[in-house]
Amino acid sequence: MKENLIHPAAIVHPGARLGAGVAIGAYSIIGEHVEIGDDTQIGPHVVINGHTRIGCDNRIFQFCSLGDEPQDKKYNGEPTGLEIGDRNTIREFCTFNLGTIHGAGITRLGNDNFMMAYVHLAHDCQVGNFTTFVNNASLAGHVQVGDYAGLGGFTAVHQFVRIGAYSFTALGTILTQDLPPYVLAAGNTAKPNGLNLRELKRRGFSEEVIHALKHAYKLVYRSGLSLREAEALIKPLTLVAPEVQNFLDFLSVRGRGIIR
């Protein structure tokens, strides 16, 4: 059994549950209902409160605030939660809030994510796996982010927006509508800028699949068709490249509408 390394100046509530090999730095505060998995490292001056469950092998840097009350005037102290998976890097000054009973009841961050400094995850956000959020990227409440998505520095996302897998935003992007999978976005407010080809190639997407995705993208953004008309023409492409189905499924959920 690995020993825990808790600095004498840290304050850990007796009710908190710590795995093996957990390290907690000076002046960090761990609340009563917090659970921390094996080999997670927590730097100095970190505050972790609420019903927060953190998985294994995470690195949480100094001055983060995790699991505190949501910035929602309707919140009235309900026992909502924050879940953080495994192998995440959470850099300085990140703020991840609890969920609310008006949403999912829990804010989630999956596995293998890289959250750079000053990232904010508001209440009820659901973030997948292998994402990268660059400094000062901020999500308002109820935002959903798919796997392998990337948010550029100072990206701001409106509440209830969905961000598809393998998508990417440029520096200072303001997203007020949904960003489909595989698509690059930039601007205030965000406009589509083609496919995230660098990431698709890096992740091993074949030329055939990329060609099909390019065709689907053009039908939505360059053909002058309505979204419903474009969807009908995209459907046959799913037989050639199943990855196109993810794009089509995303479009079929109307939500706040997609960036156009």
Please give the positions annotated as active site. 123-124, 141
Query: What DSSP assignment string belongs to 120-171?
Result: EE-TT-EE-SS-EE-TT-EE-TT-EE-TT-EE-TT-EE-TT-EE-TT-EE-T
Contact 34, 16 (CB under 8 A): yes
The one-letter amino acid at 185: A
Rounded to the nearest angstrom, the gap between the alpha carbon of residue 14 and the centroid of all alpha carbons in its chain is 31
Tell how strand 144-145 and strand 126-127 pair up.
parallel
How is residue 90 written in tokens?
């959470």
**Cα pseudo-dihedral 84, 28, 18, 42, rounded to 10:** 50
Rounded to the nearest angstrom, the gap between the alpha carbon of residue 78 and the centroid of all alpha carbons in its chain is 23
Residue 55: name the closest of 89, 101, 86, 31 by CA: 86
The one-letter amino acid at 258: I
Inter-residue long-range contacts of 144-147, CB under 8 Å, 24+ positions, other chains counted: 146/181, 147/110
